Chain A
């Protein structure tokens, strides 16, 4: 029984209230998932830089590992910003190679080291604990951007730790992230097929496979919407999930309508949440709401509009406030 939320500002400008809105939605759904909380915030940049967020390990002092990540990344690209707080290292870099090569260079340091997110606009923050604790550590309420997806988790079948928390970055696919409520029942079978082809799984959380599938579909040239649509036939089980890219957000609802999802939309925004209570607490009760039908998919795209404001997500790598 997880809670998922998404919000997209249709103006295409960076919404200064994005973080506040996402926090209101997440907090309202907090009781659906007390185990962990996380958000994927999309903030377009005007430079070519990418945001890299690395989990340095599960326990201990990570200064040495941070230094090693910085050394390896620094050998491949310019590092514009860096910040570390405990297990998290956040870098802004000018890397031009493939995400896979960068990821391999970083993750070969130690099996515990994982790239949590990598993108031109994407920045993922997540941890064990409540939405409030997430905000206290990372300053979620200060986040600005065009869109975001977020998650509160009630673990049913896999461990409760940072890596098993959502949103999941689709490893290797720039800017692609997912949040899922439900259960992919053909996960084990699909996972074996992927593993035979050399795909690495970072968790035992069935939700992780959604991003792997979507990343693979996008890599073949499929559109985001078609990738979402084809996932309806690829996955079995109960699922309402949201996926986001640098310029779009979309939902998929399983063919039996087993998991809730509700949408509130005006000319200015679209807000999506597991329960109406999250919409009521954020965008209010006046906007029309509708529940997506069984087996439906919908995508909203950020209009490509020049934003005069300087680029900065305001999300802390850590407690930078």
Chain B
């Protein structure tokens, strides 16, 4: 496994070194001493396996299309923002806006995430082993958000489409987020998706949260709910 030591390197030098190794055909890369720096491993579009031995800062793995990234620590804000595909696994916690606006891929945070995880997501899957903060899944448009722990205020606020599966309790559902019946397909999906990352779906009593579709079209009668939503 190739190694990159972040100490005494600029962020650009680290990312350039990552790209150089990947373009040489390297598929296993270990990055040491990331020390919560921002913008690491951004914009990578090949299927390499990158391991960060420590915590990373903001936007780790952002705009990626293909790589598998493991963070043996916590991640800051904007983890995996806007990725198209690939897998990003964080062993501890992640900050605000984790997996914001992703179009595909899988983002797993084994600890807790802060506010607005999966905001405006347009595909892909997010799995949170711990709890999630304020306005998780805000305005999500597609994809699946699986939360094994509890959720804060405004869960799924103003979501258009997509599914949120919640294993724990919710402080308050967001505007137009409603609980729907789960079916056998959901159970199969959850079992398979979670098993791939070492979680047993049978241990949770999942609730499915979807759009109530009241905010899909503007109706003057619903002005009050619009006022709150906006």
Q: Which residues of A contact B (CB under 8 A)?
A: 255-257, 260, 262, 275-277, 279-281, 285, 288-291, 293-295
Contacts and interface: CB of A to CB of B under 8 A. Distances in A.
B35 A291 contact: no
Contacts of A293: 114-115, 133-134, 152
A294 B153 CA distance: 9
B10 to A, nearest CB: 12
B86 interface: no
A291 B95 contact: yes
Interface string B127-161: 00000011100000000000000001100000000
Contact of A291 (B36, B73, B93, B135): B93
B37 interface: yes
B96 A260 contact: yes
B37 A277 contact: yes
Contacts of B95: 260, 262, 291
Contacts of B152: 293-294
B134 A294 contact: yes
Interface in B92-108: 92-93, 95-96
B49 interface: no
Interface residues of B, number: 25
Given A291-B112, A293-B152, 14 more contacts: A255-B134, A256-B115, A256-B135, A257-B133, A260-B96, A276-B57, A277-B35, A277-B57, A285-B55, A289-B55, A290-B93, A291-B114, A293-B114, A293-B133
Contacts of A285: 35-36, 54-55, 73
B54 to A, nearest CB: 5
Q: Which of A255, A285, A288, A291 has the most CB of B within 10 A?
A: A291
Contacts of A275: 36, 57-58, 76
Contacts of B37: 277
19 contacts: A255-B134, A256-B134, A260-B95, A276-B55, A276-B74, A280-B54, A281-B35, A285-B35, A285-B55, A285-B73, A289-B74, A290-B93, A291-B96, A291-B114, A293-B133, A293-B152, A294-B115, A294-B152, A294-B153
Contacts of B114: 257, 291, 293
Contacts of A291: 93, 95-96, 112, 114, 133
B133 A260 contact: no
A153 B152 CA distance: 31
B116 interface: yes
A285 B93 CA distance: 13
Contacts of A289: 55, 74, 92-93
B147 to A, nearest CB: 14
4 nearest A-B residue pairs (beta carbon): A257-B115, A276-B36, A294-B134, A277-B36
B59 interface: no
Nearest to B56: A276
- Interface of chain A, helix or strand or loop or mixed? loop
Contacts of B38: 277
A294 B154 CA distance: 11
Interface in B34-62: 35-38, 54-55, 57-58
Interface of B: 35-38, 54-55, 57-58, 73-74, 76-77, 92-93, 95-96, 112, 114-116, 133-135, 152-153
A280 B55 contact: yes
A277 B58 CA distance: 10
A291 B57 CA distance: 13
Nearest to A273: B36
A187 to B, nearest CB: 23
Contacts of B57: 275-277
B139 to A, nearest CB: 14
Contact of B36 (A255, A257, A280, A295): A280
A275 B59 CA distance: 13
Nearest to A284: B35
A256 B157 CA distance: 13
A266 to B, nearest CB: 15
A287 B152 CA distance: 25
A280 B93 contact: no
Q: Which of B37, B95, B116, B152 has the most CB of A within 10 A?
A: B95
A10 to B, nearest CB: 22
A110 to B, nearest CB: 45
A256 to B, nearest CB: 7
A294 B35 contact: no
Nearest to A277: B36
Contacts of B54: 280, 285
Contacts of B76: 260, 275-276
Q: Which of A276, A281, A293 has the most CB of B within 10 A?
A: A276
A13 to B, nearest CB: 29
Contacts of A279: 36
Contacts of B73: 285
Nearest to A255: B134
A281 B33 CA distance: 11
Contacts of A281: 35
A277 B39 CA distance: 12
A177 to B, nearest CB: 26
